Structure 1
Amino acid sequence: MERRVDPELAAWLDLSAGVAGDMLLAALVDAGADLEEVQSAVDAVIPDTVRLVAHEVQRAGMRALKVDVELLVADQHHRSWSVIRDLLTTASLDESTRRRAVAVFSALAEAEARVHGVGVGDVHFHEVGAWDSIADVVGVCAALTALGISAVTTSGIALGSGTVSAAHGRIPVPVPAVLELVRGWEVVAGGDGELATPTGVALATALSTGQGGLPVLRVTTSGVGAGTKDATGRPNVVRVVVGHGPADPESAGLEPTGPELAEMVLLEANVDDLDPRVWPTVIDTLMDAGAADAWLTPIVMKRGRPAQQLSVLTDARHRAALCDIVLTATSTIGIRETPVRRSALARGWCDVDVDGCRVGVKVAHRDGRVVTATPEFRDVEAAALSLGVPVRHVLDRSVAAAVGAGLVAGAAVPEGLRLQS
């Protein structure tokens, strides 16, 4: 009998009392994300710098979990977006965690660039570039990965009112970066003081696909994360509700899984004066920043000059950040943009063991059956380096391990498949 495929695991964020990075992190840990796993992800980006400590508190009579980010070393200097991007790119992170974290900091960089009237590449973070915000962003993204959450939606966002002290003096609430981040999102004042921080709002808006009331869910878990202040009459908390959406009532067997049609944007640029040794780094940077795909095509330009056409496929949410990378990482002075539609199979990840090393296998599937299963080449390279053997040998062993695990065309999609975000 064919296995019924569950709908994707989703999370709804209740931000009616505001949101900060530590509040959202605490809510996800309270919902079941393993704090040690989250700590490991943070350590991969800023090793030996912070410690995450969780403890229960009361907020206006409501039980909640508080996660404190304790500094282990001397205070850190402010970091630029390029430095943070390099830290995320080179860290040993789950790819879902990395993509989410890059998306959040990309959104913050774009907001700060508009506020200060500078290019995204010239942004130097102040409050949001500190060690605690890096821990919050990476921690939240790692917690979503640990819980297996693939889709996030939010309630309306309470922003607060009044003024707050910042790096450049006292500024009105909502602070300018928050106002940039909530363009197109439903917000309310919700109370006095700063209820929503730039880090918290960036996490909510960059990671969410939509906004509204609590959706129809088969609830599996929930969590309550506390802020620092304990306001009278209003619990200063973020709540998260996790569960599966209802299956299609007309589906008597397997839940259809593809191909999925999506509206995308194709970015293109012709480049004839870039050192060819730079291109692999450009492609990797684009992929790490959220590109759905990126590639080069050899072309011949005016006066017979050989060149490369850079193509980047993206959704609208990542378009601005990817345009900035193309303009700063290459020598082009212009980008063409074309709306396109993409049909793609659903995909997810399974791990196989190769001589004691973990290798991820990307599984494309439809209607509950495997279509293709391909070892992740970065994992293969890392395993080859660890084992001291040629990459081609590890690749062969990875394919064999995938077949041994039943990851072959036509087989049922495995129970432990991690959905790709």
Structure 2
Amino acid sequence: MENRSAWLDVSAGVAGDMLLAALLDAGADLARVQRAVDAVIPGAVRTSTTTVSRAGLRATKVDVVATADDAPDRRWPAIRALLAAAALPGAVRDNALAVFARLAGAEARVHGIPAEEVHFHEVGAWDSIADVVGVCAAVHDLGITSITAGRVAVGSGRVRGAHGDLAVPVPAVLELSRGWRVVGGGEGELATPTGMALVTTLATGCTDLPDLRVASVGVGAGTRDVPGRANVVRVVVGEPESGWPPEDAAEDAVVLRANVDDLDPRVWPGVLATLLDAGASDAWLVPILMKKGRPAHTLHVLAPPERTDRLRDLMFTHTTTLGVRESPVRKTALDRCVLEVAVGDGHLPVKVGHRDDVIVSATPEYEDAAAMAARTGTPLREVLRQADAAARRAGLVQGASLPRPGSAGDLTT
């Protein structure tokens, strides 16, 4: 299958070894996973699998055995260096780096220190590095191109960790849960920081089981066998049915809002640019009247859940607001690509929004048109008119089929 998706059932909790076991049970090759781990920490661990029973259900359990001296606590830069130097496929390295970066960010917020100073403690041990790299390698080996997951069971009660007695879910898991659906209950710590970081980094959304033509199912076991509750992670791998995920599939997002009445208006363009550069999906101003008839603006920022903290901080830093409101929303976006069309003696990009390869909108890129106008001395409105006409000649009109690369310029997605 060219387009493989995976859905993670983490309704009983998740840990790195459970997710790795589920992917191996679904068909990932253990030898290739071991080679990826060896590329990062050569000769440090040996990974094996056994078949076990959890609440009467068959499952695969992964055992990671240290074959070298136990690893010391490691700072995030040291782990980053190990991953950067390893001979790994690009996708495996990038995903592993992203998982550890997310972990470092969560630990930094919990302890109030820069991410570069984070000691990973248990997460820095050889087995956890093996879990993260192993999961990323298994995803790559299975050819999975997109992942979603259900809500995560995080557990309850208390647990003892490197920092003493802590309530469940532990602080790092709560930080990693921002923007995600979780459920409490159950006995003890059901979601570990490593497991939560893997799910919320690799999965693009929190959804129920999507429409799939199922190819394989993997069941990964946790250490404990709890009567009446199968302590497992399940992964369902398959080909999305036609139309799933839809081209305009809804995504979780957050809207941040702040009312500001005392900011120099000349500053606003820079504020919006800073927020967009930091990963906001959109940022805009709405004029309002505040108490006592004072003119003001409401700053709105549409943010991916994982960027909410950073964008909120920037709103406080770059405006005079004393408070930011937040609301979860669902964002639906058309799939987009860019086609270049001939205008005069040059080319201009046209942003095309489409659904199921049928064009919904086509708009010349303003900044590129403005640059051409300045370069040629042609009025901007004339450049935009010519670009619109060129787009129509190229067939970029509502309801038309999306041209293939080479038929109307260079297509990039």
Do both proteins adopt the same fold according to a TM-score greater than 0.5, normalized to the shorter chain? yes
Alignment CA distance shift 1:89-1:21 (3 Å) = same
Tell me, yes or no, if the aligned pair for 2:155 and 2:189 is still in contact at 8 Å. Answer: yes
Is it true that 1:35 corresponds to 2:40 in the alignment? Answer: no
Alignment CA distance shift 1:231-1:79 (3 Å) = same
Provide the alpha-carbon RMSD of the alignment. 4.0
Alignment CA distance shift 1:344-1:95 (3 Å) = farther
Q: For 2:65, which of 70, 77, 95 is the aligned residue?
A: 70
Letter of the 1:147 partner, please give it. Answer: L
Structure 2: runs of 5 or more not aligned: 254-271, 280-302, 312-316, 319-333, 339-355, 358-404, 408-412
Q: Report the alpha carbon displacement of residue 129 of structure 1 after superposing the two structures with TM.
A: 1.1
Structure 1, residues 222-273: CA drift from partner, whole Å, max 9, x if none? 1000000011111110000011111249xxxxx9999xxxx9x9879xxxxx
Aligned-pair identity in percent equals 57
Higher relative contact order structure (alpha carbons within 8 Å, sequence separation ≥ 6): 1
Alignment CA distance shift 1:322-1:114 (3 Å) = closer
Counterpart of 2:392 in structure 1 is: none
Q: For 2:48, which of 44, 48, 53 is the aligned residue?
A: 53
Runs of 4 or more consecutive aligned structure 1 residues displaced over 3 Å after TM superposition: 255-258, 265-268, 315-323, 341-345
Is it true that 1:121 corresponds to 2:121 in the alignment? Answer: no
Mapping 1:86-165, distance limit 5 Å: 86-165=81-160
Is it true that 1:187 corresponds to 2:182 in the alignment? Answer: yes
Counterpart of 1:215 in structure 2 is: 210
Q: Report the alpha carbon displacement of residue 316 of structure 1 after superposing the two structures with TM.
A: 5.0
Distance in 2 between the 1:140 and 1:256 partners? 27
Q: For 1:167, which of 156, 162, 172 is the aligned residue?
A: 162
Distance in 2 between the 1:92 and 1:248 partners? 37
Alignment CA distance shift 1:165-1:66 (3 Å) = same
Structure 1, residues 73-124: CA drift from partner, whole Å, max 9, x if none? 1111011111111111111111111111111111100100010011111111
Is it true that 1:178 corresponds to 2:173 in the alignment? Answer: yes
User: Which protein has the larger Cα radius of gyration, Structure 1 or Structure 2?
Assistant: 2
Is it true that 1:199 corresponds to 2:191 in the alignment? Answer: no
Structure 1, residues 44-69: CA drift from partner, whole Å, max 9, x if none? 11000001011100011000000111
Q: Secondary structure at the match of 1:18?
A: coil
Q: Secondary structure at the match of 1:170?
A: strand
Structure 1: runs of 5 or more not aligned: 1-5, 250-254, 269-289, 291-314, 324-333, 336-340, 346-365, 368-408, 412-419
Q: Report the alpha carbon displacement of residue 8 of structure 1 after superposing the two structures with TM.
A: 2.4
Tell me, yes or no, if the aligned pair for 1:7 and 1:245 is still in contact at 8 Å. Answer: no
Give the structure-1-normalised TM-score: 0.61
Alignment CA distance shift 1:75-1:238 (3 Å) = same
Counterpart of 1:282 in structure 2 is: none
Q: Secondary structure at the match of 1:210?
A: coil
Letter of the 1:33 partner, please give it. Answer: A
Counterpart of 1:237 in structure 2 is: 232
Counterpart of 2:16 in structure 1 is: 21
Give the structure-2-normalised TM-score: 0.62
Q: Report the alpha carbon displacement of residue 320 of structure 1 after superposing the two structures with TM.
A: 8.8
